[in-house]
Structure 1
Amino acid sequence: MKTVLSINSSILGDNSQSRQLSNRLLERIQKLHPNTKVVERDLVKNALPHLTGEQFSAFITPPEQRTDAQKVLASQSDDLVKEISEADTVVLALPMYNFGIPSQLKSYFDNLARAGMTFKYTATGPVGLLIGKKAIVLATRGGFYFGTDKDTQTKYVKDFLGFIGITDVEFIYAEGLAVSPEQKAKSLELASEIIQAMSL
């Protein structure tokens, strides 16, 4: 059975365009693969704290040497790593806030970057350990940024996912959503058509 991890980071809840597109993608996946297991993670409803020095210290301390307090600090991150490790596909709903990713998503990434668990250091540089997975990113923006130097999201997300071993990353963009109602409808329709045409 295929397992899909669906990650949402929009502050707009069900009104989020990125969430609506990710829901359409999940519906298509489940239509093509009825036995798919979907695990949903809402990074706004279940927000993660920003990374602290104490938490980072807990991460890099060998499990058998952690204090009780460090075990608590590391446990949530351990669960997140286990969750994504068990997924075959990651569906990431990605709104753009002030030219970047939501801070909630950054905190999530900080919890995933675990030496020895999601990547390892080698003589030739870091190597990702979460191999064999696919990520599909539904990127929604109020303006038009794809292909410009203001699109800080695409490279950053691809770099981070690649860092932990997920190199098969596909982006679907819906841009200009704040330009006009007509442009919004056009962009969302185009993204939906791409989703429906995907071979999953």
Structure 2
Amino acid sequence: MTITHTLSLAVRFIDHFSGRPVPQELPVRLSESYARPAPRPDGSGARQADGSYRFLGAAAGTRRILWRDPFRRSQSGWIRWEIADPEVTLPLPVPAQVIDQELWPTAGAETTPGATGVRGKLRGTGAGGLEIRIALQGRPFNRLTRSDPAGEFLFLPPGVLPLDAGGRVPLTIEARIPGGAVRPILSGSFLPATAGAGFAGPDFTILPQTVARVTFQLA
């Protein structure tokens, strides 16, 4: 007798900044039954070549998609800003359609060599839990992250980042209370100071292919 298993769910975790699948293998499973995804053909893990995790023969009902170890807020340098885990109700109308879920790199996450970005720290009252947006000067904001309880964050602007006349990437930052008012940026400075001149207001520049450490003073 041949036993076949039907695909029930395919889920993939996407890097908010790059739009690409998170490269690390995550401990993905379903709540209630704690069903595990099918292994790769070579048996070396469950993350498939397209970055998805595929569940076979999962029981019907509403399930949370668990992606981190128990009692942890983040996993392998990734975080999801919604505290609750994503939910799915099985069976799905189209099980083969991959469900994408966004994750964000934590403030202390490792970055790839040659990445351009900002490892920032907000100083001032209420620096934790703010929405942080950074974009090229003169361009609209199209990505965001949040500062952690210590006011720290990692921001990796996607796409081609043109340089100014001085060979640096011109950026601007916005800090905002989620769903509320903007928290003005008064000034900023680099660590070490040799990485760039201090600045007033939200506009600043960084060297390309570096992840600059920048401190921002909130009003």
Q: Which has the higher strand share?
A: 2
Q: Which has the higher helix share?
A: 1
TM-score range, shorter chain: under 0.3
Give the number of the structure whose alpha-carbon radius of gyration is greater: 2
TM-score, with length taken from structure 1? 0.28
TM-score, with length taken from structure 2? 0.26
